[in-house]
Structure 1
Amino acid sequence: MSTSTPFVIEVNELTKHFGSKCALDKVSFTIDQGHTIALVGPNGAGKTTLFSILCGFLRADSGAVRVLGQTPGDSSLFGVLSALPQDAQLDPRFSVGKQLTFYGQLQGLSRVQAQQETARVLEQVDLSNQINAKASELSHGMRKRICIAQALIGKPRIVLLDEATAGLDPINAKAIRTLVADLSKDITFILSSHDLSELERLCDTVLYLEKGELTSHQRYAQNGSDIAFLTLQVKQPDSQMQSHIAQLAGVKQVRQSQPDEFVIEYDAHQNALDIALLELCHHHGWVYKQLINGNTLENQLFATP
């Protein structure tokens, strides 16, 4: 496998049509090793199409795509890139262990190697005790974690997860987030989700798709090296709150992003603005719910100009 490229994934001017519909319109981006990527956008934005092209399931109409220096679908990527669709299902007739062992053998592992991999990935998702259970006997959250275990067979370098925590209870969703965070040192994850707060915890780069066009965002991206942000959430803000905050030393702009939330842009060299802001809340009797160091992903993506 070629190692000349410094990027895990390179996409340049990627375009894909389905009839008259443009699913992807000259999409370009690169992904470095060691980053966890959020792929965000409304339904129909082109996220699944992009995943399918990266996996080699679809061919683009034009543009270039390289995954670890290879063309998607190349045999050298087999077992190196893994993807889990949102609606992936296990066969209810067979045990978890038998199914995962079979999938390991499909990747070219011997039966013994596949059994060892099955034990390893089940331990990673904390479900070793379910190796003999049938999928029909498991909860929805446990089945989802088993599917993620399947995606980890063979120790892939890149894993694409589509709505990995959608519809899960808080315990199973937290278990999956913890797993992704723990493995992100060795695996480049690309996560597609509508849960922006979840992506904000896990990802350092955001790729936002809308109507086939893509904008790249760095998490907590700043307008310049001297600019920083605070996000203040309060209970029952009064009409003078925004103007009072704007008068604090170092504050450049205050924007009310939601009825109970203010985004404060300030001089990054201004020390202890957070303390001054909390003192201001105390002085005026404002009850704050949360003070966030930075600008939320939701506000970055959907801020009103």
Structure 2
Amino acid sequence: MSALQNQPLIKVSNIDKLFGAKQALNNVSFEINKGAPVALVGPNGAGKTTLFSILCGYIQQTSGEVSIMGHKPGSAATFGNLAALPQDAQLDPRFSIAQQLKFYGQLQGFDTRKSKYEAQRTLDLVGLKEVLNEKPEALSHGMRKRVTIAQALIGEPKIVMLDEATAGLDPLHAREVRELVANLSGETTFILSSHDLSELERLCEQVLYLENGVLREHQTLTNEADLSYITLRMASVIPDFEQKLKSILQVTQVKKTQDKEYLISIEPGKNDLPIDIQILQLCHDNDWQYKQMINGKTLENQLFS
């Protein structure tokens, strides 16, 4: 196995980015290996777009080092291996979908036959093969969004960065995009920027959390639930609910994380009856209705609680 195969897909070391006196990124470091999608989250103005732009080679960091598959961002070696889809990506209204996707294929060096094949293949991936010869004005907003995702998948890049990929999509098509990302994750490593934490929680195993240009969190999410916590979402407000939950022997702390949502700290081993059954029994005895029970913390609570 070569040294190149052993190294991370993306390695960012101590980068800063200044725009005049404004510091957009401050000493950011992380590594991304091939595998499951990676979440990039943070409030507006956190530096996510700046980081995306540096990884793509659109702009350069002020200091620090960035490596994409062992090469500098924007170098010829990364061409065709890294694709990015900005949130506001637009289609040209003058040309058909086929013409535009074939053009992007030709920009990657494909001949006419291969470009046509890639246009058809990627549209089929996003469930829109029937719109190949349509112009953008004939498509809904959601359909245009999926066409731009198809564009990002031309040439089967190794790394695909998607900014708010499901924003503006109806629930059915948002689910189709999530399934597409999950299905392609064996060969393509996705970096997903989104404000929808529940969506990222379903897809990602690694999360980068930026705030004011600083990487506040860099952690791996596991599929195994943290048995020290339960997240409980109730259907209505219940007076003194936290105190009533503490009547269960294994409950050591109850924290209200938002309206009608509670993070319950658990001390295992104090009762033969599973803790989730005890909580459900308490709800049943008091005629309380709950919306959702999650073993462990949600991504939102991991980052902000």
Match of 1:47 in 2: 48
The one-letter amino acid of 1:274's match is D
Match of 2:175 in 1: 174
Match of 1:259 in 2: 259
Q: Structure 1 runs of 4+ off > 6 angstroms? A: none
Q: Against the structure 1 CA distance between its residues 191 and 268, is the aligned structure 2 distance closer, same or farther, given a 3 Å change threshold?
A: farther
**How far, CA to CA, are the matches of 2:36 and 2:133 in structure 1?**
35
Deviation at 1:219, TM superposition (A): 3.0
Deviation digits for residues 167-217 of structure 1 (CA, Å, limit 9, x no counterpart): 222222222112111111211111111111211111111111111001213
Matched, 1:219 2:221: yes
Q: TM-score, normalised by structure 2?
A: 0.93
Match of 1:110 in 2: 111
Match of 1:302 in 2: 304
Deviation at 1:41, TM superposition (A): 1.0
Q: TM-score, normalised by structure 1?
A: 0.93
Q: Against the structure 1 CA distance between its residues 31 and 268, is the aligned structure 2 distance closer, same or farther, given a 3 Å change threshold?
A: farther
CA contact under 8 A between 2:230 and 2:263: conserved in structure 1? yes
Matches within 5 A, 1:61-210: 61-210=62-211
**How far, CA to CA, are the matches of 1:121 and 1:160 in structure 2?**
16
SS state at 1:3 partner: helix
The one-letter amino acid of 2:189's match is T
**How far, CA to CA, are the matches of 1:219 and 1:267 in structure 2?**
22
Match of 1:231 in 2: 231
Q: Against the structure 1 CA distance between its residues 4 and 201, is the aligned structure 2 distance closer, same or farther, given a 3 Å change threshold?
A: closer
Consecutive unaligned residues in structure 2, runs of 5 or more = none
**How far, CA to CA, are the matches of 1:260 and 1:48 in structure 2?**
33
CA contact under 8 A between 1:5 and 1:68: conserved in structure 2? no
CA contact under 8 A between 2:226 and 2:297: conserved in structure 1? no
SS state at 1:7 partner: coil
**How far, CA to CA, are the matches of 2:77 and 2:274 in structure 1?**
52
Deviation at 1:269, TM superposition (A): 5.7
CA contact under 8 A between 2:227 and 2:295: conserved in structure 1? no
Work out the percentage of aligned pairs sharing the same amino acid: 52
CA contact under 8 A between 1:46 and 1:210: conserved in structure 2? yes
The one-letter amino acid of 1:36's match is P
**How far, CA to CA, are the matches of 2:252 and 2:33 in structure 1?**
34
The one-letter amino acid of 1:283's match is D
Match of 2:31 in 1: 30
Deviation at 1:228, TM superposition (A): 2.4
Q: Against the structure 1 CA distance between its residues 204 and 48, is the aligned structure 2 distance closer, same or farther, given a 3 Å change threshold?
A: same
The one-letter amino acid of 1:61's match is T
**How far, CA to CA, are the matches of 2:67 and 2:161 in structure 1?**
15
Equivalent pairs, count = 301
Deviation digits for residues 88-133 of structure 1 (CA, Å, limit 9, x no counterpart): 1111111111111111010011111111111111110111111111
Q: Against the structure 1 CA distance between its residues 269 and 37, is the aligned structure 2 distance closer, same or farther, given a 3 Å change threshold?
A: farther
SS state at 2:44 partner: coil
